Amino acid sequence: MTGVMPEPLHSPADMRRAHVQKLALCHMLEGIADDLPSRVDRLQCLAVAADLLPLLRECHRFEEEVVFPVFARRSGEEDTVARLKLEHLEDQSAAADLSEALLAYGHGRPIENPEAFGYMLRAFFESMRRHIAFERDHVLPEVVDHP
């Protein structure tokens, strides 16, 4: 295991912890991308693949059920919430594809196209980092720091 498996998230203040967990996963994915094509650790690929979807699902569930309703109520930004939810669906779809590729490599299959795999990794973690930055800058101040 990578150590980023989520503990249950309950209050809007837990969003910071969720961001730390997702950023740790992004860091591991970046390490895999940097090690392509020949230095990739197969066991790390298996561990990241095992954690990726459960972590995203828990974080997204928490944000959509706990955080986003508070944000929408305080900010009136229903369109922003709809966009963030759409990004969650896109991230989960990309994470499923990425997990499949990580599992295949982790189980001994060669990386057919290291450049494409690296692009896939980087596109995913860069998108996730942008999403987290937006939430940190715009959502968190409304739901945590707001009286």
Q: Tens digit of pLDDT for each residue in 2-45?
A: 544 445 556 777 888 889 999 999 999 999 999 998 899 999 99
Nearest to 48 by CA among 7, 91, 3, 2: 2
Tell me what pLDDT residue 144 has: 78
One-letter identity of residue 22: K
Please give the pLDDT value at position 129. 97
- Per-residue model confidence as pLDDT tens digits over 76-135: 999 999 999 999 999 999 999 999 999 999 999 998 899 999 999 999 999 999 999 999
pLDDT value of residue 83:
96
What was the pLDDT predicted at 8?
A: 53
Tell me the mean pLDDT in the region 46-62: 93
**Amino acid 52: pLDDT:** 95
3-state secondary structure of 3: coil
Q: What is the pLDDT of residue 6?
A: 46
Nearest to 48 by CA among 61, 38, 35: 35
How far lies 31's CA from each of 79, 118, 144, in Å? 35, 10, 32
Distant-in-sequence, close-in-space partners of 55: CB < 8 Å, separation ≥ 6? 4, 5, 6, 21, 22, 25
Rounded to 10 deg, the angle between the 78-106 and 114-134 helix axes is 150
pLDDT of residue 114: 93
At 1, is the pLDDT very low, low, confident or very high (cuts 50, 70, 90)?
Answer: very low
Which pLDDT tens digit goes with each residue over 59-75? 999 999 989 999 999 99
